[in-house]
């Protein structure tokens, strides 16, 4: 079931996921999705994959998919 959702969400032109995308993908609450985004964003900044200037509340699709082993 999640694979169909991933394809639908990936069809957008954005290169990042927002909280609503993550709640749909993983079937979790908004607060848990925000927590995941914050944690992953901190990891990306610490490893140099993102700068602090990257908008909060968003996570790059590539990193999220690798982290959650979706693709």
Please compute the mean of the pLDDT values over residues 38-58 and round it to a whole number.
Answer: 92
Which regions of the chain does DSSP assign to beta strands (E)?
A: 16-18, 58-60
pTM greater than 0.85:
no
How much is the pLDDT for 35?
96
- pLDDT band at residue 70 under the 50/70/90 scheme: confident
Model confidence band, residue 6 (pLDDT cutoffs 50, 70, 90) = low
Is pLDDT at 69 greater than 60 in this prediction?
yes
d(CA 52, CA 71): 26
């Amino acid at each position: 079931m999640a694979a169909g959702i991933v394809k639908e969400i990936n069809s957008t032109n954005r290169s990042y996921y927002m909280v609503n995308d993550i709640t749909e993908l993983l079937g979790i609450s908004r607060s848990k999705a925000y927590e995941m985004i914050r944690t992953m964003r901190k990891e990306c900044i610490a490893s140099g994959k993102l700068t602090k200037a990257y908008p909060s509340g968003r996570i790059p699709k590539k990193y999220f998919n690798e982290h959650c082993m979706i693709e």
